[in-house]
Amino acid sequence: MEKRMVNPKFLVITGMIFAGAVLRLLPHYPNFTPIAAMALFGGAYFTNKKLSFVVPFAAMILSDLILGFHSTMWAVYLSFALIVVIGFSLREKRKVSNIFLASVSSSVLFFAITNFAVWLSGSMYPMTIAGLAECFTAAIPFFSHTALGDLFYVGVFFGAFEFARMKFPVLAQTNA
């Protein structure tokens, strides 16, 4: 018998990811957003790898249609995809320490890729090693906002879902 794709677990996970996308649209401290949480959570909880990418990417694209796109969006989406893959590593090992490490790793990955893309664009920094160093140095204050936002939202997403699984056993029994 074919498993239903649309079940309570699927709806809750999808709803949480789309709620994260809505939070991106509200006023927030710079870089304190649920971007990494959306990707990490999707990678960790969707049992279908295709859905792990499709649902978070759909939410991200919809919010970006409102927020707007920029020339280094490719780096944001590359980082996002790699964070989904990091989420795969949490599927069988959702311990607080592993989730914390995955969140910090996601922050570092996002910082490295997106700031390298800013440097690579050549529009703000010289295309030299010194220019690359300047780019990364200038981005350090944003990294702290990103890392704190990631830790906060990853904690909210994973904590809320685990709490919901305890209260509603159907979320623990079905696949998404």
The answer to whether position 24 is within a domain reads: yes
Cα gap 136→130, rounded to integer Å: 10
The answer to whether position 1 is within a domain reads: no
The answer to whether position 95 is within a domain reads: yes
How many domains does the chain divide into? 1
What is the CATH number for 156?
1.10.1760
pLDDT (tens digit, 9 = 90+) per residue, 115-145? 999 999 998 999 999 999 999 999 999 999 9
The answer to whether position 3 is within a domain reads: no
Q: How far are the Cα atoms of 55, 81, 94 from residue 105, in angstroms, in the given order? A: 22, 13, 15
Its domain, for residue 12, covers 8-173
pLDDT (tens digit, 9 = 90+) per residue, 22-74? 999 999 999 999 999 999 999 999 999 999 999 999 999 999 999 999 999 99
